[in-house]
Structure 1
Amino acid sequence: MGANTLKRRVVHTVQRLAVNPIGRNLPVTMIETTGRKSGQARRTAVGGRLIDNQFWLVSEHGEHSDYVKNIKANPAVRVRLHGTWRTGTAHLLPDDDPVARLGGLPTLNSAVVRLMGSDLLTIRIDLD
């Protein structure tokens, strides 16, 4: 097993068992996707920045992340910003430079994404 695979598994487990359950009950930014298998709403704590009418974020594990797999199956999402849910359409941007993009996003979250990430991927959500 490669270092990135092990890193991704450890981080995913911590996020699934601790970060996401706690985040669902705190006023943090969340993305809600539709489960590609279950069809159920799936919520994940994310960090990013609203710029005009677009929400920008970088996925730590790119196409290995469950929420990214869900976006690929159905790009209609909701984002909770400052306690308010907004609908939008997510776009995966593999040609964008995710490290450069992190420079314009919140500093603490960007540092965690750089540290914990294994396969960074920029995502833009066009909000309705």
Structure 2
Amino acid sequence: MADSVRDRVTKFFQKYFGNQVMGRMPFQTLLETTGRTSGLPRQTPLGGKRIGDEFWFVSEFGERSQYIRNIKADPRVRVRINGRWHRGTAHLLPDDDAEARLRTLPSLNSFGVRTFGTNLLTVRVDLHD
């Protein structure tokens, strides 16, 4: 399915502006995946919530997101939460109610995901350390 104009504008803004700024903030939550083609680490700023030994978030573009494609190729990830890195295994949960999940996550990020997202997908990361 082709991306809409809104999707393309949102992705462009995130890639070249938002992610560049947010990724440099020391306490911004980051998801690090392994590039499925390059094999290099890829970091994406995102919002979510740690609950025990799990980290939950919702991807706004679902399986069209590059980091989701990377997770499908290799679910081993790292998540930086409050300035500390944690290893984990990501699980895509297409049967989870992403709208309901967003109501349990931090409201500012959830607002952005709901506003700009077109293909919501819940992700749970089981943290190993």
The TM tier, using the shorter chain, reads over 0.9
Identity %: 51
| Matching residue of 1:6 | 5
Conserved 8 A contact 1:61-1:120 = yes
Q: CA deviation at 1:5?
A: 2.1
- TM-score if structure 1 supplies the norm length? 0.96
Q: 1:39 — aligned with what? A: 39
Distance 1:115 1:73 in 2: 28
Q: Distance in 1 between matches of 2:115 and 2:24?
A: 25
- Which structure 2 residues correspond to residues 64-103 of structure 1 after superposition, within 5 A? 64-103=64-103
TM-score normalised over the length of structure 2: 0.95
- Partners of 2:79 and 2:91 in 1: how far apart? 13
What does the per-residue CA deviation read over 1:74-124, in whole Å, with 9 as the maximum and x for residues that have no partner? Answer: 000000000000000000000000000000000111011000101000000
How many Å separate the matches in 1 of 2:50 and 2:16? 27
Task: Give RMSD over aligned pairs.
Answer: 1.3
Structure 1: any 5+ residue segments left out of the alignment? none
The alignment covers a number of residue pairs equal to: 127
Query: What's the counterpart of residue 15 of structure 2?
Result: 16
Contact 1:7 1:118 (8 Å CA) reproduced: no
The structural deviation recorded for 1:19 is: 1.3
Q: Structure 2: where are the runs of 5+ without partners?
A: none
- Which runs of 4 or more aligned residues in structure 1 lie more than 2 Å from their structure 2 counterparts after TM superposition? none
Please state how far the C-alpha of 1:8 moved relative to its aligned partner.
1.5
